[in-house]
């Protein structure tokens, strides 16, 4: 992930300063452990200033409105308590070349600041700190005790101290090429590394692009650079410093990230706020997606392993109870041949009533023939009772396994992160598992109460232009089948295989041709657990024949009057 460097921070703040000073603070919302959003209003506009102290993605920019779920964090409550209704009157760097921004709040523009919010955008040391006019800390996003840092503790009631001052040389527009070149090439080495060592305020990402623009490989040794190389590189160096001096930047996407210098651009962006918001939202979502998918998969694997063991135990007990009649037959045989028994016998062999074949009966040597027969009758009764007790338990476990395999299939379909909708689909699965008591997460704040169910279904068009909707998880499957579906739509599902509910939308009077039905059957097969198979049986029926059993778990449906098609998942090109 590309960290916000001094250049990006300067560019972002310069743009915010131009458009949002002065503005009134109306609201503060904490999105997660690392991000706050401040609602700012000017005479012309209202939007959300986002400040993140995420260790890999710390940034400041105008971002998206927060979700409607309640904010339960105390940091944001402390900020709104002190700052509500005040004006943001200044956004200043605390010192040249420092990545610490001082947001100043006063009653009205032109008055002295009553409060300061210091946004320290410094990688893993990032923080957001609120102080009063005398720079006494009121609260901090991340408190640092004396034990954690004797150099710079950050605690409520203590004076705010700025981070340790930069010790390296800072770049300057007035420095000549000769002096600059001499400093960088004093000790021979790779040009990128030498620039990083020689000057403060640089980042690896900025230098990669600067060198690329000057047509120099980053690992080129300073010894091998000719005068033309040095001249081209110094021109880019000056271009960078002039952009910082004049606050004229060119935001753009690059092959591997973004730039505010226009170097290596593959697509220009209209402003820096949009660039940073999109980049960091996407990167953080991608990180959350990977973590959540791993957690859910691990949890399901563990639960399913336990349930399958349980089911196997019940099946073993049922197999044993299948021997119940055998015990009764042996008892009957023994009772019919009491005269053949002799004291101390451990086994007796008698001819079967029907087949006349020899049957070996194990005996307790300390009991007589009648007592042994009674023992066998008891065993027969016990096993018969066991079957009656175990069958419903096995059914319950098998139903639970089927449900969790359906969830597992949904997770396996959401295999890579492409858009925020992929993360949302996984979050809905987490919500569902919390609702079904499979997960406990005290930190998780459910959004479902305040947000309408998501409708980010997979969407396709059949050869004749009919819309196909596909659920991405059980919650969406229920929404699709029992809320979205119309009377004329057709419902598809892989037969007795965990998978998505698939809906072919049809207007009154419209008839789907064979090509349309086959297309949808291929999709139902593709969005099922049998994706890797050549052919998959797929059922389809009208909506009036699809029901949800009373008390059934999410995503479970039963159907009747179905037709069957063979779906070919390999024919589907995922989009």
The verdict on 437 and 465 lying in the same domain is no
The verdict on 422 and 464 lying in the same domain is no
Establish if 425 belongs to a structural domain.
Answer: yes
Is residue 385 pLDDT above 90, yes or no?
Answer: no
Q: What is the CATH number of the domain that holds 112?
A: 2.30.310.10
Q: How many CA atoms lie within 13 A of 523 on its CB side?
A: 28
Task: Determine which helix (DSSP H) or strand (DSSP E) holds 91, and give its type and residue range.
Answer: strand 87-93
The verdict on 80 and 24 lying in the same domain is yes
Rounded CA gap, 93 and 162, in Å? 11
The verdict on 247 and 365 lying in the same domain is no
pLDDT at residue 567, as a whole number: 96
The verdict on 201 and 88 lying in the same domain is no
The verdict on 437 and 462 lying in the same domain is no
DSSP-assigned beta bridge partners for residue 164: none
CA dist list (Å): 115 to 78, 80, 86, 104, 281: 12, 12, 9, 6, 29
Q: Quick one: residue 304, left, alpha or beta (phi over 0 = left, psi -120 to 50 = alpha)?
A: alpha
Establish if 481 belongs to a structural domain.
Answer: yes
Instruction: Choose the final residue of a domain: 394, 429, 450.
Output: 450
Task: Read off the pLDDT of residues 72-111 as tens digits, 9 standing for 90 and up.
Answer: 899 999 999 999 999 999 999 999 999 999 999 999 999 9
Find out whether the peptide bond into 22 is cis, omega within 30 degrees of 0: yes
Establish if 14 belongs to a structural domain.
Answer: yes
Is residue 443 pLDDT above 60, yes or no?
Answer: no
Rounded CA gap, 194 and 548, in Å? 68
Rounded CA gap, 446 and 70, in Å? 9
Task: Read off the pLDDT of residues 525-539 as tens digits, 9 standing for 90 and up.
Answer: 999 999 999 999 999
Q: How far apart are the first and last CA of the chain?
A: 26
The verdict on 444 and 465 lying in the same domain is no
Residues 6+ away with beta carbon under 8 Å from 83: 25, 28, 105, 115, 117, 130
Rounded CA gap, 354 and 357, in Å? 8
pLDDT at residue 447, as a whole number: 45
Establish if 279 belongs to a structural domain.
Answer: no
Dihedral pair phi/psi, residue 250, rounded to 5°: -130, 85
pLDDT tier for residue 574 given thresholds of 50, 70 and 90: low
Of 310, 311, 363, give the one whose Cα is nearest residue 337: 363
Q: What is the CATH number of the domain that holds 189?
A: 1.10.8
Task: Read off the pLDDT of residues 201-234 as tens digits, 9 standing for 90 and up.
Answer: 999 999 999 999 999 999 999 999 999 999 999 9
Task: Read off the pLDDT of residues 353-363 as tens digits, 9 standing for 90 and up.
Answer: 889 899 999 99
The verdict on 381 and 499 lying in the same domain is no
- Other beta carbons within 10 angstroms of residue 381's beta carbon come to 12
Contact between 561 and 547 under an 8 Å Cβ cutoff? The reply is no
pLDDT at residue 318, as a whole number: 84
Establish if 167 belongs to a structural domain.
Answer: no
pLDDT tier for residue 322 given thresholds of 50, 70 and 90: confident
Of 494, 473, 493, 491, give the one whose Cα is nearest residue 482: 491
Contact between 506 and 489 under an 8 Å Cβ cutoff? The reply is yes
pLDDT tier for residue 151 given thresholds of 50, 70 and 90: confident
Is residue 246 pLDDT above 60, yes or no?
Answer: yes
pLDDT at residue 36, as a whole number: 97
pLDDT tier for residue 446 given thresholds of 50, 70 and 90: very low
Does this model's pTM top 0.75? My answer is yes
Instruction: Tell me which residue range forms the domain holding 201.
Output: 177-270
Task: Read off the pLDDT of residues 177-201 as tens digits, 9 standing for 90 and up.
Answer: 999 999 999 999 999 999 999 999 9
Contact between 334 and 362 under an 8 Å Cβ cutoff? The reply is no
pLDDT tier for residue 453 given thresholds of 50, 70 and 90: low
pLDDT at residue 449, as a whole number: 43
Rg (CA), the chain: 36
Instruction: Choose the final residue of a domain: 140, 169, 201.
Output: 140
Contact between 493 and 560 under an 8 Å Cβ cutoff? The reply is no
Mean predicted confidence (pLDDT) in 367-384: 89
Establish if 149 belongs to a structural domain.
Answer: no
Q: How many domains does the chain have?
A: 4
The verdict on 242 and 186 lying in the same domain is yes
Establish if 294 belongs to a structural domain.
Answer: no
pLDDT tier for residue 118 given thresholds of 50, 70 and 90: very high
Q: Give the sheet arrangement for strand 258-259, strand by strand.
A: 258-259, 252-254, 265-268
Q: What is the mean pLDDT of the chain?
A: 92
Task: Read off the pLDDT of residues 508-522 as tens digits, 9 standing for 90 and up.
Answer: 999 999 999 999 999
Contact between 97 and 201 under an 8 Å Cβ cutoff? The reply is yes
The verdict on 467 and 440 lying in the same domain is no
The verdict on 388 and 480 lying in the same domain is no
pLDDT tier for residue 451 given thresholds of 50, 70 and 90: low
Of 531, 462, 478, 468, give the one whose Cα is nearest residue 503: 468
The verdict on 475 and 385 lying in the same domain is no
Establish if 39 belongs to a structural domain.
Answer: yes
Task: Read off the pLDDT of residues 326-353 as tens digits, 9 standing for 90 and up.
Answer: 888 889 999 999 999 999 999 999 998 8
Q: At what angle do helices 177-185 and 191-198 cross, to 10 degrees?
A: 110
């Amino acid at each position: 992930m590309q960290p916000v460097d001094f250049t990006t921070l300067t560019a972002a703040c310069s743009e915010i300063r131009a458009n949002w000073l002065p503005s009134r603070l109306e609201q503060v919302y904490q999105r997660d452990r690392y991000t706050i959003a401040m609602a700012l209003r000017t005479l012309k506009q209202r939007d959300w200033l986002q400040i993140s102290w995420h260790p890999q993605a710390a940034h400041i920019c105008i971002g998206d409105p927060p979700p409607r779920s309640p904010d339960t964090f105390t940091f944001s409550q402390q900020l709104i308590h002190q700052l509500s209704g005040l004006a943001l009157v200044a956004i200043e760097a605390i010192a040249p070349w420092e990545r610490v921004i001082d947001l100043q709040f006063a009653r009205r523009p032109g008055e002295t600041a009553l409060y300061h919010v210091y946004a320290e955008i410094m990688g893993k040391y990032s923080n957001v700190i609120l102080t009063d006019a005398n720079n006494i800390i009121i609260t901090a996003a991340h408190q640092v005790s004396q034990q954690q840092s004797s150099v710079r503790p950050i605690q409520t009631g203590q004076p705010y101290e700025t981070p340790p001052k930069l010790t390296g040389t800072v770049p300057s527009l007035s420095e000549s090429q000769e002096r600059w070149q001499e400093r960088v090439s004093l000790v021979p080495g790779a040009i990128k590394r030498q620039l990083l060592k020689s000057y403060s305020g640089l980042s690896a990402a900025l230098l990669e692009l600067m060198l690329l623009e000057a047509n120099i490989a980053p690992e080129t040794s300073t010894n091998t650079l000719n005068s033309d190389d040095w001249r081209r590189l110094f021109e880019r160096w000056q271009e960078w410093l002039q952009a910082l001096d004049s606050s004229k930047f060119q935001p753009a996407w690059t092959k591997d990230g973004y730039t505010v210098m226009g170097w290596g651009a593959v697509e220009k962006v209209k402003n820096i706020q949009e660039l940073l918001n999109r980049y960091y939202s996407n990167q953080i979502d991608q990180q959350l997606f990977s973590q959540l998918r791993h957690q859910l998969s691990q949890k399901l694997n563990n639960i399913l392993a336990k349930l399958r063991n349980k089911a196997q135990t019940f099946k073993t007990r049922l197999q044993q109870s299948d021997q119940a009649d055998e015990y009764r037959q042996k008892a009957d045989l023994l009772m019919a041949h009491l005269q053949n028994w002799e004291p101390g016998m451990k086994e007796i062999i008698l001819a079967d009533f029907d087949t006349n074949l020899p049957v070996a009966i194990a005996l307790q040597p300390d009991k007589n023939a009648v007592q042994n027969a009674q023992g066998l009758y008891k065993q027969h009764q016990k096993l018969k009772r066991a079957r009656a007790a175990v069958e419903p338990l096995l059914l319950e476990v098998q139903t639970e396994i089927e449900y969790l395999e359906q969830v597992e299939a949904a997770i396996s379909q959401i295999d890579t992160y492409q858009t925020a909708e992929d993360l949302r689909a996984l979050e809905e699965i987490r919500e569902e598992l919390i609702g079904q008591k499979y997960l406990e997460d005290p930190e998780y704040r459910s959004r479902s109460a305040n947000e309408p169910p998501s409708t980010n279904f997979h969407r396709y068009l059949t050869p004749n232009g009919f819309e196909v909707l596909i659920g991405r998880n059980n919650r969406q499957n229920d929404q699709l089948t029992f809320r979205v579906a119309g009377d004329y739509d057709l419902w598809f599902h892989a037969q007795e295989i965990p998978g998505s509910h698939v809906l072919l939308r049809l207007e009154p009077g419209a008839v789907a041709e064979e090509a349309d039905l086959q297309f949808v059957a291929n999709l139902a097969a593709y969005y099922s657990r049998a994706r890797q198979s050549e052919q998959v049986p797929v059922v389809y029926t009208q909506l009036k024949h699809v029901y949800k059993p009373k008390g059934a778990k999410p995503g479970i449906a039963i159907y009747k009057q179905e037709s069957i098609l063979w779906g070919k998942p390999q024919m589907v090109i995922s989009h």
